[in-house]
Amino acid sequence: MCGFDFQKACGDMGRGFIHVHHLTEIASIGAEYDVDPYADLRPVCPNCHAMLHTQRPAIDIDELKTMLTARCSGRESSEG
């Protein structure tokens, strides 16, 4: 999502390290649900994962990408 590479930052210790974000929150699904990794999960760095969950329901991944892109390019609104 943000392009952070743990292996580049931390060396071999960071190889393959990633969090996964459930597109549908597990708490809202109920007891019986078969997770489809391709349809239900997205890899994100731990920082982005935490930011996705600063709101409930979680922020949409594309919305957070837009927010990060705007912030990095200096177009962040004064409301932000």
38 domain-assigned: yes
The overall longest dimension of the chain from CA atoms, in Å, is 44
13 domain-assigned: yes
Q: Residues 45, 18: contact at Cβ < 8 Å?
A: yes
In tens, the pLDDT along 46-69 reads 999 999 999 989 999 999 999 988
In tens, the pLDDT along 1-41 reads 888 999 999 999 999 999 999 998 877 776 677 888 899 99
21 domain-assigned: yes
In total, how many domains does the chain have? 1
Helix (H) or strand (E) holding 19: strand 19-22
Nearest to 6 by CA among 18, 24, 19: 18
Query: Which two three-digit tokens encode residue 69?
Result: 């892109």
79 domain-assigned: no
Please give the residue range of the domain that contains residue 12.
6-72
